[in-house]
Chains A and B, each alone.
Chain A
Amino acid sequence: MNKDEIENLITLSSDLRWKIGDDFHDSLAEGIYADASEISSASVSKDNKKKKFRLDAKIDRIVTSKTWGFPIMFLVLALILWITIIGANYPSAMLADVLLDVVHPFLKGLAASIGMPWWLDGFLIDGIYLAVAWVIAVMLPPMAIFFPLFTLLEDFGYLPRVAFNMDYLFKKSGAHGKQALTMSMGFGCNAAGVVATRIIDSPRERLIAIITNNFSLCNGRWPTQILIATIFIGAVVPSSLSTVASMSAVIGIAILGIFFMFLTSWALTKTVLKGEVSTFNLELPPYRPPRVLKTIYTSLIDRTLIVLWRAIVFAAPAGAVIWLISNIYIGNESIAAWTIDSLDSFGFLLGLNGVILLAYIVAIPANEIVIPTILMLTVLVTGVTGGEGAGIMFELDSVNATGDLLRSGGWTLLTAVNLMLFSLLHNPCSTTIYTIYKETNSLKWTTVATVLPVIMGFVVTFLVAQIWRLF
């Protein structure tokens, strides 16, 4: 080939382009459609006599209807959560039994028999091992139930209908309709939700989806919400209503999260991420009966174990830190006690306390370890006996015992409500932060996505605390 001739070729092409006019694109498209129609009519035949009852269309008329679309969506969400919560209880308790009550003492005995120094034994077994064991016991069962259920729904073809229903709201808030899909993924795991934003073409709308994914309450936070709601919200209503009250409180927090997601998307579009909403065409695929066993298998292998592994990788060092700050002393006080004291007054302003704030710092790697950290730190500062000693995470036998311990640490209904709010509105876990950085490749947007929700959490809990104390 020859450079000049290539340039001649390009000149020829622009001359010809000029000659044939600007209806070229349309004529070509029409030509292709005409060919396609000829070819398909020659080989495709449809037996219209046996016109079947169109189940797809019937289902769509209901699940995407203006009246029933949203109630059905919330019902499906509530059902999946209910199955996850109820179903996870038993295996969680079983795993906790084995990992905390059998394996832990066994490891301690083993360490003692080989004469391991107390600090190494504490650091490895009471710190790292217990943190990992806790994450597995609390996180594995709900994930192993939630992810397959979600994948079944995905295989069935329900997700595009959710996107269809919510498209209007997203458009109003200046975001992309497909954000409905990534938001739903976030209810399982925010890191997975952030990766899923790759389906959004426009960089502006993708950033919005990434930044706001954290408002989908993730699997690591559901157990916190449920436990605190059961102890404190369930207790203020007659016992016959306590389950319903605590369930509604949890679902209320989840819906509040969706509200904040829309609010933040809208605010971002009006300020730093201005731009047009891009149109997209969303095909509503036919419903397909899911292949249950295969789906369960692949979602366990591909999602549950991978996400769990990442959580463990981050939980192990956190466990070490908890043990260290509770066992390294400056003067008479451990670093933990010292930090809690200095955070207490700020915590009070937010209707929280120093223990909770420190727990959220320690638990940045994994939201799953917030509650055990809070309990351990509470024991440490109140001097209540019940735990196993400084820096050892534990689980109390019953919900009542946990409640008693927290109340002795000065907890009120306000503390509980604000903890639930703060659990929704705080920085994403480090796994998610790292994923956001990998996906955006920008320190600036990673910082925004990390800091923005914490600020919102401070503002919301501060306002709630001040208004609460007025009455």
Chain B
Amino acid sequence: MENKVNSACETCPQFNAKGLKKLGVHTDNIDYVVALAGNPNTGKSTVFNALTGLRQHTGNWPGKTVVRAEGAFEYNDSKFKLVDLPGTYSLLSTSQDEEVARDFILFGKPNVTVIVVDASRLERNLNLVLQILEITDKAVLCLNLMDEAKRNNIKIDERTLSRDLGIPVVPTSARFNEGIPDLIQTISEVASGKIICKPHRIKNVPKKIEDAVEKLSTEIKKQFPTIPNSRWIAFRLLEGDDRILKALRTGEFA
């Protein structure tokens, strides 16, 4: 039923009056930067292609995207630059591909981070989602591969998920272009501030760690009052992350 309504809307001339323009590689004069993050092989490049009209090579094997791809689209008079990041399972270790993704989300300061997840493997994918939500508070969850989830008889209550994560959730099947218009609309609303996210912060942390994090985080906020992710930086400092120490000293967070 839902699909039918969707497709009828999409064919209506009123839909997207000022509409979507796929701009390919033309990334000049952009208004917003959007990052595409997610586990390997969840269809990030497919979403990227659907949004930009580019033909970034896609393949059904993890680790296919080896270079950071950039493209652009225009929606309702705003220009968006889209950055396709290498797929990672986590941002907690320090392997190279994870660093590329982590550095871009942290230092590249994208206006919106779209986290692409495999709907049939939500629990495992949430590991990365929760880490990203510690770093940024402007995110959209793209619940991709819905067709496969349906085939595996998996149902996801998107409202509950959205409430628990504190960010908008958009179900898609990017391979078949389903849900893409909805995704674009949501991205633009988060970018413009029409949707305010209240991202979930990691809860199940032992008391002594939580206290240490709280203490550090307060200090960090004193130094960098505008920083959205003092808690995550505290996590990294407790881990002894050299890259973060360096960034503190050079003032990259300011």
Contacts and interface: CB of A to CB of B under 8 A. Distances in A.
B96 A285 contact: no
Contact of A39 (B55, B124, B158, B165): B165
26 contacts: A1-B223, A5-B223, A9-B219, A12-B216, A14-B240, A16-B216, A17-B240, A20-B209, A28-B205, A36-B123, A37-B123, A42-B161, A43-B158, A43-B161, A44-B154, A44-B156, A47-B155, A52-B151, A52-B152, A151-B59, A159-B61, A201-B96, A286-B120, A291-B175, A298-B57, A302-B55
Contacts of B209: 20, 24, 27-28
A40 interface: yes
Given A32-B130, A36-B129, A151-B59, 19 more contacts: A1-B254, A6-B249, A12-B219, A13-B237, A16-B212, A24-B209, A28-B202, A31-B206, A33-B127, A34-B204, A35-B126, A39-B161, A39-B165, A43-B157, A43-B158, A44-B156, A52-B151, A154-B60, A178-B63
B148 interface: yes
A198 interface: yes
A24 to B, nearest CB: 5
Interface in B212-248: 212, 215-216, 219-220, 222-224, 234-235, 237-240, 245, 248
With most chain B CB atoms within 10 A of its CB, the pick from A32, A45, A52 is A32
A50 B151 CA distance: 10
Contacts of B202: 28, 31-32, 35
Nearest to A42: B160
A303 B120 CA distance: 31
Contact of B237 (A2, A10, A35): A10
Given A17-B238, A20-B208, A46-B154, A282 B126 contact: no
A181 B61 CA distance: 10
A29 interface: yes
A160 B153 CA distance: 25
A469 interface: no
A58 B40 CA distance: 23
Given A31-B204, A52-B153, A154-B60, A43 B164 contact: yes
B113 to A, nearest CB: 17
Categorize the interface residue count of chain B.
Answer: 35 or more
B1 interface: no
Contacts of A181: 61
* Closest A-B pairs by Cβ, 8 of them: A198-B66, A36-B126, A34-B204, A13-B237, A40-B123, A43-B161, A47-B153, A157-B60
A38 B130 CA distance: 12
Contacts of B234: 13
Interface of A: 1-2, 5-6, 8-10, 12-14, 16-17, 19-20, 24-25, 27-48, 50-52, 151, 154-157, 159-160, 178, 181, 195-196, 198-199, 201, 282-283, 285-288, 291, 298, 301-303
Nearest to B98: A201
A353 B36 CA distance: 57
B61 A154 contact: yes
B38 to A, nearest CB: 13
A1 B245 contact: no
Interface string B31-66: 000000000110000000000000101111111101
A199 B224 contact: no
A25 B62 contact: no
A289 B68 CA distance: 27
B209 to A, nearest CB: 6
Interface in B189-210: 200, 202-206, 208-209
Contacts of A302: 55, 57
Contact of A42 (B40, B164, B219): B164
A282 B89 CA distance: 12
